[in-house]
Structure 1
Amino acid sequence: MKTSNLISNYKKATIEMMLLKLLSEQDMYGYQLSQELKKRSNQNYTILEGSMYPILYRLTDEQYISFYEKKVGVRQTRVYYHLEDSGRTYYDGLLQSYRDFSELIQFLLDSTEGDIYEKEINIKA
């Protein structure tokens, strides 16, 4: 697998978590979400709208986020997304799973024969 494919797979696996992270800080509209990730990552983490909006729609359907429209200017309306309490709980769970899995992977990369990971985590592939 090429490195670019690997990075693409990592991004696909983390987009949801990154969007929820930003929404945990404040309500944002779609373009604002993508630009904030781009800015914070120094242009290294970009999300195409075609990838982002289906995730936002699914999170809305699952009631983890909600949305509202806000008029800006005379003719323009922006759709802002808001993290609900159930979404915050979901985000916290995703974040903990990510941290547990990252810790396990780091252990495995650093381990040698005979090393055993002592912490029990619930990660099934």
Structure 2
Amino acid sequence: MQKQSLDVVRGTLDVIILKTLSWGALHGYAIAQWIRQQTDEAILVEEGALYPALYRMEDKGWIEAEWGLSENNRRAKYYHLTPAGHERLASETRTWEHYAAAIAKILSATRGAQAVGH
């Protein structure tokens, strides 16, 4: 089967980034790389989506940033979760678990809609 890159569904990027940062501070490129590696390259987060999301989440108080040096001794902005970010991640995780379970029920259905309510 051919491997495809999946577009990040609107509304999922924030929770993906929050989860990525749940283990500690990372700079933008490392966030994108972790997501790519964790999903076996199925989800590729482009800079044009990543950085606006980081800035938006920083404005909402879910993450904070500090300047530091990357592995290559280059200046980089490192992002980390705030207490509000941890709370948001927990809330979003519950929501996505319920959503995924509902979709799984639909995809594993063994009878069509015409069998319901007639």
Q: TM-score, normalised by structure 1?
A: 0.76
Tell me, which stretches of 5 or more residues in structure 1 are unaligned? Answer: 116-125
Compared with structure 1, are the counterparts of its residues 47 and 9 closer, same or farther at alpha carbon in structure 2 (3 Å cutoff)?
A: closer
Q: Sequence identity, in percent?
A: 22
2:14 aligned partner, one-letter code: E
Q: Report the CA distance shift for 1:109/1:44 in structure 2 as closer, same or farther (over 3 A).
A: closer
Q: Distance in 1 between matches of 2:80 and 2:45?
A: 19
Partner of 1:45: 43
Shift >4 Å, 4+ stretches:
none
Q: Distance in 2 between matches of 1:77 and 1:9?
A: 28
**Larger % of helix: which?**
1
Consecutive unaligned residues of structure 2, counting only runs of 5 or more, are none
Give the alignment partner of residue 90 of structure 1, picking from 88, 91, 95: 88
Report the RMSD for the aligned CA atoms in angstroms. Answer: 2.4
TM-score where L is the length of structure 2: 0.80
Return the offset for 1:56.
0.4
Question: Which residue is equivalent to 2:106?
Answer: 108
CA–CA distance in 2 between the matches of 1:98 and 1:23?
17
- Quick one: higher RCO (CA 8 Å, sep 6+), 1 or 2? 2
Aligned length: 109
